[in-house]
Structure 1
């Protein structure tokens, strides 16, 4: 049985200890065209207590839980990120948090979890509009339920983003039904291997996003050439190792 563990402090960050693993937050900056900070994406790091030099892939760790235990774990991860954000020096910037379609549906289906996020934000003194939930552009167990879970009664003023959009998603995107405020395109869409046809399709898609009022983030910006290409294509926001690796709060210098 997974019980909510006590939180404690290490290197100025809140952390969780579960199943002989330590869960911590790292943050990666997301910048505007003029190189100003728009926000930070909270990313999970999972380390094995018995193997101090190795990290466990977050998805692998989360997938080791199921049912109500997984739902509770995912709530704890959200709470972990929000607690660290609330205690950070960049509280005035937006915070991006990953959530799977299935998890968002689960969190919105019962009275106990439906208002979990809004209540947590209220308790921590974080404005709803400061938070961006990143929903992965992947298969959902129920598209109608996903759409319902993204309405204002559940999210309030929390923003919605579609994450990891790839070329094969451009024609089947959930953008029309979910109406996200932000679209995050996968690094494969702006890589060197993309031909002119692919570039024109992406540029057209970015313009479509803008017409619908959505901002576009290019992920995986790892060098200046990729940054300049994304900029030329009309991307609004930029994220990747060229800007900064994901880092603990005390090591961020932007």
Structure 2
């Protein structure tokens, strides 16, 4: 049962975290009115293309969604992209209007503009794009430097937006600008887990997260916990990683999230660990189970300065009981360098680029065949 103070949010479902949005419930009918002649034909065209019933007059469009209102929500998202800001300011919207007569007239006269309705629903142009995107995870192998066997995979979010593939960096940039970061971060975590289960075998799975997207771990991570439970992946196979720059922003909040992860049997990785006192003090405070060396520093090897810093970080990580992963390994020379420094595992194009797994092949006995695991 949700707390009485909890409200619906654009992150999906019910959440007790901050940045709550009072989102209107789904509507099954909408009236849109404007004196700008060219706008309503655009609205009618989009609504008809989505299979909704449309009744149009010169200054008014009546749209009916007989499938529960989801298509009407998508229509609003598309209008956010199709219309200019000036057009959304000139278009008034009444959802689930009263019957004919004075009550309907009064509602039309006091109706909010489309721009206000979009804001109430948490819809921006960027959110509309993301809401219609197709997401999946690509996976990059992580190998043991001792024998080059694949022991883990890092999940990296990808998407198709307006017919073109978009990388995780661009997706999260748009999501952050649109106030949609918490939702996309949740999608990334859950896509990573669900997409890996058919082929992961006994390998570990590294899943990225942004602590600024998690406001109360017990609430905001509940759906991720359900995915882990439903897929049957072993908790000890999961390693949740956070980049150092995000970790520094609010160390106390990060520690509370990591404590929750560990209470569930999941492990923690600190990513992009590099130079400076902040890296060393952060390692001591967070005490991650895995430390990933900064790619830029690794690729500066055999520079003496980079070697000194990476050696110091590797030694401290080992003293704290952590496993060390060197990122950005693209040549055998770099692999030899980080091995000499004491790194335990490596990740980079030398060992494999991020790929989207093929659909799993079912064995005659009905069990899924792991397709990329090489752990002995």
Normalising by structure 1, we get a TM-score of: 0.81
Moved more, 165-174 or 210-219: 165-174
- Give the whole-Å Cα distance in 2 for the aligned partners of 1:119 and 1:78: 12
Structure 2 residue ranges without an equivalent (≥5): 1-9, 14-69, 71-128, 360-370
Q: Residue 192 of structure 1: CA displacement?
A: 3.8
- Give the whole-Å Cα distance in 2 for the aligned partners of 1:23 and 1:90: 19
* Corresponding position of 1:48: 161
Pairwise mapping of residues 1-254 of structure 1 onto structure 2 (< 5 A)? 18-33=130-145, 34-50=147-163, 52=164, 54-56=165-167, 57-66=170-179, 69-87=180-198, 89-103=199-213, 105-108=214-217, 111-139=218-246, 140-152=248-260, 155-168=263-276, 171-192=279-300, 195-250=303-358
Asked if structure 1 preserves the Cα contact closer than 8 Å seen for 2:293 and 2:310, the reply is no
Asked if structure 1 preserves the Cα contact closer than 8 Å seen for 2:138 and 2:157, the reply is yes
Moved more, 175-184 or 70-79: 70-79
Q: Residue 250 of structure 1: CA displacement?
A: 1.9
- Give the whole-Å Cα distance in 2 for the aligned partners of 1:160 and 1:171: 16
Asked if structure 2 preserves the Cα contact closer than 8 Å seen for 1:162 and 1:183, the reply is yes
Larger RCO (alpha carbons 8 Å, 6+ apart): 1
Deviations 1:53-92 (A, max 9, x none): x5252332332431xx4323321221111111122x2232
**Structure with greater proportional strand content:** 1
Structure 1 residue ranges without an equivalent (≥5): 6-16
Aligned length: 235
Moved more, 32-41 or 19-28: 19-28
Indicate how the Cα distance of structure 1 residues 233 and 129 shifts in structure 2: closer, same or farther if over 3 A, else same.
Answer: same
- Give the whole-Å Cα distance in 2 for the aligned partners of 1:94 and 1:179: 19
Deviations 1:183-227 (A, max 9, x none): 001122222465324312321321121111001101111111111
Normalising by structure 2, we get a TM-score of: 0.57
Q: Find the structure with the greater CA-based Rg.
A: 2
Aligned to 2:291, what secondary structure does the other structure show? strand
